[in-house]
């Protein structure tokens, strides 16, 4: 009878050990799956048995992580400020470049206008020189032909052209030291025409100037 009781007691102990093993394995598995915190579950039993859980030094590690995070935040802020400064410099450079390009365009337009004005003045001077040469050539041509024929041609001219030819004829005579034929031409013209040309010659500037 005593042997039978011992066998039962042995079976009970084996079952208790098996249950404890299964419970411990399940606790470890659930802790691995983050379903429960094994340390928190076992903490009351540890304190009941007078065993304090050993400190893992987590405070120091958290402090180091906090310092690293702070350093990282400072670096990120410095980089952001640097990026903002570079963006501002780039914007200033682009603005200045636009102003310089605008000034260059204005200078180019002014230079173009000056060139056009210079070309226009040169063309006018060239025209005046050509006209003066043509009038001089025409005056010499008229001086070399019979006076009556020359007077007929001068009389048919408009007032300004006739005045230019008469003045050029006098200028040539003065330059060459000869007697001007202008007075003789005027004497051969109709009196009204001669008087009109003489009046305008004294009051109108030369069209060759």
Whether 110 is in a domain gets the answer no
- Predicted confidence (pLDDT) per residue in 111-145, tens digit: 888 888 888 777 777 777 788 899 999 999 999 99
What is the pTM (predicted TM-score) of this model? 0.43
Q: 49 lies in which domain range?
A: 21-53
Closest by CA to 200, choosing from 146, 162, 170, 156, is: 162
Whether 102 is in a domain gets the answer no
- Predicted confidence (pLDDT) per residue in 136-190, tens digit: 999 999 999 999 999 999 999 999 999 999 999 999 999 999 999 999 999 999 9
| Total domains in the fold of the chain | 1
Q: What's the CA dihedral at 150, 153, 157, 160 to 10 degrees?
A: -10
Whether 28 is in a domain gets the answer yes
């Amino acid at each position: 009878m005593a042997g039978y009781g011992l066998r039962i007691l042995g079976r009970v102990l084996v079952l208790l050990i098996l249950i404890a093993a299964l419970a411990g394995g399940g606790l470890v598995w659930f802790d691995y799956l983050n379903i429960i915190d094994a340390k928190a579950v076992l903490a009351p039993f540890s304190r009941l048995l007078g065993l304090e859980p050993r400190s893992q030094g987590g405070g120091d590690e958290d402090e180091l992580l906090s310092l690293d995070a702070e350093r990282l935040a400072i670096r990120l802020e410095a980089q952001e400020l640097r990026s903002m400064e570079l963006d501002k410099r780039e914007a200033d450079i682009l603005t200045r470049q636009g102003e310089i390009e605008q000034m260059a365009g204005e200078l180019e337009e002014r230079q173009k206008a000056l060139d056009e004005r210079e070309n226009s003045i040169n063309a006018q001077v060239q025209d005046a020189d050509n006209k003066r040469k043509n009038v001089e050539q025409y005056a010499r041509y008229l001086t070399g032909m019979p006076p009556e024929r020359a007077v007929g041609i001068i009389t048919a001219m408009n007032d300004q052209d006739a005045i230019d030819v008469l003045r050029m004829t006098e200028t040539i005579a003065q330059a060459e030291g000869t007697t001007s034929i202008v007075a003789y031409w005027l004497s051969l013209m109709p009196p009204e025409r001669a008087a009109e040309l003489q009046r305008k010659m004294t009051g109108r500037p030369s069209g060759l100037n």
